[in-house]
Structure 1
């Protein structure tokens, strides 16, 4: 399983996401996540929600750089 598939699977298990896109290589990952849990939550808190399940991969240096874009379902529909 590739790192992008591993991350996608992990985030799906840990966070109730409506849409999840994960692209990149072993060190640089781009994540787009959509969920109603992001309603009325600021950007910092949204990123913390995504980072939390990824911390083991960051600590062991499997992941180096992560770009995260988060949207509520309504924000995604209006995009």
Structure 2
């Protein structure tokens, strides 16, 4: 069962309301995505902490409905 890019974006924006989210389906199968997420909430956090915030936003779908997600997380300039 694949996960739609729109659902990933919705979940991230629910958890990080100020975020800008760009998602690319890498394989065209709905299972392998790249996401670039920019949020003020990432400021001062390590890359690991930023990625943990995104995984938490996905509410357990990582590894299930969502097989692979290449993350790029940024704080706004």
Q: TM-score, normalised by structure 2?
A: 0.81
Q: Which runs of 5+ in 2 are unaligned?
A: none
Counterpart secondary structure, 1:58: coil
Structure 2 distance, partners of 1:53, 1:8, is 10
* Aligned ranges 1:43-62 → 2 under 5 Å: 43-59=47-63, 61-62=64-65
Counterpart secondary structure, 2:14: helix
Higher helix share: 1
Total equivalences in the alignment: 72
Aligned to 1:30: 34
Query: Pairwise CA RMSD of aligned residues?
Result: 1.6
Q: Which runs of 5+ in 1 are unaligned?
A: 75-79
Counterpart secondary structure, 1:22: strand
- For the 8 Å contact 1:32–1:68, the answer to whether it is kept is yes
